[in-house]
Amino acid sequence: MAYVFLICTNTFSQEVEKNDEESKINQFLKNVSLSGSVDTYFRQNIGGPNGEDAIAPNTSFADLNGFALGMANLVLAYDGEKVGFTADLAVGPRGEDATFLSPFLRPDGTSSIINQLFVYWNLTDKLKLTMGNFNTFLGYEVISPVGNFNYSTSYMFSYGPFSHTGIKADYSINYDWSVLFAVMNNTDATEFNFDNNYTLGAQVGFKGTYLNFLYGKQGGSLEATFQVDIITGFNLTDTFFLGLNSTYNTTNDTTFYGVALYPQYSFSDLFTLGARAEYFAEIEGGAGAIGGYNPEGDANVFAFTLTGSYNIAGLTIKPELRIDSTSEETFLDSDLDPSKSLSSFVLAAIYSL
């Protein structure tokens, strides 16, 4: 009888352990999420060269001729009560352009598929520490097309930071106010710190308005770069939204700055029409964004983008008309003569899950 009792006890113990393991696994899976997107597009210049002579504004992404590819994006995240992680992978031209400073250690460039890779720790209900590679907290626009209304991107986004690798602390003071502090590698040097210079970051948030700062030497520069950036947005009515982004970036005498408005009007649950009206200027060459400059190295551009967004299930169709007008002759017309303006049309298709 004792032998039978031992067998029963052992079986019961194993069953309890098995149930505990299953419970832990189920609890883990409840906090795991999988999301992502794929995007592709068609682009043609209007009144400008296409084909082998095709040109585009000096902004990131959506700049290839004809039918072209964006990126495939897959995000695995674990959001626990105390700790968690995000592994965000991106492949394709858009993903490679976004991680242009990644493949330092590996000649095959395998690190360039990492858009974000970080862990976090909620020390308290108000304080969160994040360490790893994360997309920038500056700017109105983001890398993934799912997070932007316009498919093409602005000059401010293209020449601001994309991503950082470092550690940041987010602190919620109360329901309205928040602050962020960060110590990071060089901007966009996401794989490792190749020159042992560090960048400081900070953010002050109030009711959906964020004032952002960066300070530090970038890319081997002898002078530190300072950037200040503001993001805000308002639902003026149930159907009309207005966003705003402005930035100022300076390294010694080399400066660029800009401002953009993002109005959006929802005609229905399926269709929204929005625009981006951006003014961007450079002093003494700035970031080299415009491409043509007066004798002092100064130039400016006004870029107007009109985008429609039609949603059906997980698919979003975005027809887009963009007009870039510069102070100098930085573009080419259809006869390949210098021009101060370029018009282009984009039709993008984005599927997100």
pLDDT of residue 191: 85
pLDDT of residue 280: 98
Q: Which CATH number fits domain 31-352: 1.10.1380.10, 2.40.160.10, 3.30.300.30, 2.40.50.100?
A: 2.40.160.10
What is the pairing mode between strands 127-135 and 315-326? unpaired
Query: Which residue's entry shows tokens 């190749």?
Result: 194
Contact 227, 247 (CB under 8 A): yes
pLDDT of residue 310: 98
Cα angle 264, 141, 118; round to 5: 135
Backbone angles phi, psi at 55, to 5 degrees: -125, 170
Cα angle 339, 342, 346; round to 5: 160
pLDDT tens series, the chain, 353 aa: 555 554 555 655 556 566 666 666 776 778 999 999 999 999 999 989 999 999 999 999 999 999 999 999 999 999 999 999 999 999 999 998 988 777 666 666 567 789 999 999 999 999 999 999 999 999 999 999 999 999 999 999 999 999 999 999 999 999 999 999 999 998 888 888 888 889 999 999 999 999 999 999 987 778 899 999 999 999 999 999 999 999 999 998 899 999 999 999 999 999 999 999 999 999 998 889 998 899 899 999 999 999 999 999 999 999 999 999 999 999 999 999 999 999 999 999 999 99
pLDDT of residue 102: 73
Q: What is the DSSP string of 69-120?
A: EEEEEEEEEEE-SSEEEEEEEEESHHHHHHTTT-TTS-TT-GGGGEEEEEEE
SS3 93: helix
Greatest C-alpha distance within the chain: 101
Distance CA 305, CA 283 (A): 24
SS3 21: helix
Radius of gyration, alpha carbons of the chain: 24
pLDDT of residue 196: 87
Q: What is the 3-state secondary structure (H, E, C) of 173-217?
A: CCCCEEEEEEEECCCCCCCCCCCCCCEEEEEEEECCEEEEEEEEE
Distance CA 252, CA 224 (A): 8
Q: Locate the domains of the chain by residue range.
A: 31-352
Backbone angles phi, psi at 3, to 5 degrees: -65, -45
